[in-house]
Structure 1
Amino acid sequence: MRKIIIIAGLILLLIAGYVLLSKERDNQLKTGTPQIAARRHVAAEGRVEAMEGFEVEVGSEIDGKIAEFFVEEGDLVEKGNLIARMESRDIEAKLKEAAAELEVARSRLKEVASGAREEEIKKATAALAAAAADMEFAKMSLQRNKELFSEGLITREVLDEKEMTLTVAEARVKEAEEEERLLKKGPKQETLKLNEDAVKSAAANVEYVKKVLEKTVITAPISGKVIRKYLQAGEMLSKEMLISLVAIADVEKIWINAEVDETDIGRINIGDPVEVKSDAYPGQVFNAEVREISDYVGTRKVKPNNPAKNMDMKVVQVKIAIKDKTPFRLGMTVDVRIIPHGSEDAGQSRSAK
């Protein structure tokens, strides 16, 4: 009898449960309210990185030998601090040569622009007077010889010689007159412009060599920590090597670049809360949130802790901003647990990378 009562009670409980479920389903059908299934978190692996603009590779704009290094890996630097200096003796020699050429060009321009000196003009005037006197003497000599020729006292050859002497004297007078005129007039505009252009070209060359010399001194473009040092003093560097001197990062400006399986990306949105853990700090959980979601699907770069995960699985990079102060170091691998918001946030727009 007791057994029958227990069985009957169980049957009644099953019937009551069925009735309640039926009523709930009927209510949902009447109101149009869908049943919201519990949403599980999205697990992913990520790497600690400097935020965009807060990690830079510092290189050299010129080829040559590294003369000095002023930093070591791990050093803190301020923007503008010396990082390294390239060998500069050859460039300094070129600068001295360029400066000397500029001085010569300026001296020439000054001489041309100032015109002829007073002594030169006086000398030209005296030369003109002498040429004019020679011409007058040649005229008188020719006149006397014409009279002698008419009397038959000299030959035709002697008369022709006197005529040639006068012609030469007249030409010398014209030449002396032109020389005096040019000296008094000053330099030609073409000559002046030619010398002005020479000065401009020499000055531009000096500025160019100065800029090249400035590039031998390499400074920090941002404040931060030297996180990598690739070369040492004495090593050669060229553009073909495609290598930097050091990498500098602001270790306070960090975020996590998480790799979320493409099958899970539709479940997360900007602003979703995130829990971050690291094997290096067991038992500690750091608060964060989703900051950016890339529009591109790529291959996995961070090796997952779960060996069951497929390395060939396509992933989407998700940038996660850390809210708490953390002991994380750049390059460290961490585990993230993204907790999706409710459906009211499902339409939130994503930030393109």
Structure 2
Amino acid sequence: MLMALRCGGRAFCFPAAWSSWRMKDRPSHINAEDVRALRIDREQEGASRPRRRAWIWGGVGAIFALGLGGFALLWWKAGRDVEAVVVAEAVRRDIGGERAVLTAGGYVIARQRVEVGSKITGRVIALLVKEGDFVRAGEVIARLEDSEIRAEWHRAEAALAAARARLAELEAGSRPQEIERARAEVERAEAERRNAELNWQRLQRLAERGIVERQALDDARARYEMARAAYRAAWEQYELVRIGPRPEQIALARAEVQQAEAAVRFWRAQLEQTLIRAPISGTVLDRYVDVGE
């Protein structure tokens, strides 16, 4: 047989023997009123639950209100600590003679280092910069001796001028005055040839009669041969002037002009090489030569 006992809403079951033993050990003076005093009032327990919930929600609300108030206080205090910023237009002011000087130890490493030299050999006659000077790209920093190169350049320019004049003359052809002059030269040469021939024939007849020596006859014949050759040359020159230059002559003259122009460009470039220029803008670090070297 089992025995059931409820305590706080829970039921406990005990064996009958154990229950009897427990009942026997209890004092016999316990009555019904004492038992009723041990019973838990369910109505009071149910009424206490809403009150506990109200207390819990009230505590949560108070904590939330305190946190919100603290955050508002911090935000208000931070807003008071911020100073107003005044926006003004920046203006440039001349300091005058005063300069800001910063003194510090250290060394400077060049971003780019270039060694400057010359493509031709020659004696240095002028150094226009020194160590520490700032130069710009293309600026002349030294000069080499150029007397011989300059003389060759002038000689090439003179040859070019002569070649151009020769070409212009051939392209223009012979003028009437030149033709008349060449014809007059032919007539003069022919007259000299005829006189030399008559003199040689006269001395030849005298030599047959023994009046003149053999040497005089030979001299007269030599003068006649020279006069005849001069006449032949004058006639050929006249024909050339009358016909005018041939295409081959004009082409040859043009080639001579081009050759002279190339010579002028070469010596002009050589003359430019005597001026040593800075390849980049920068500061002169070292100088390896002096004037006269």
The answer to which structure has the higher helix fraction is 2
Tell me the TM-score normalized by structure 1: 0.36
TM-score in terms of structure 2 length: 0.43
Rg larger for: 2
Q: Which has more strand, going by share of residues?
A: 1
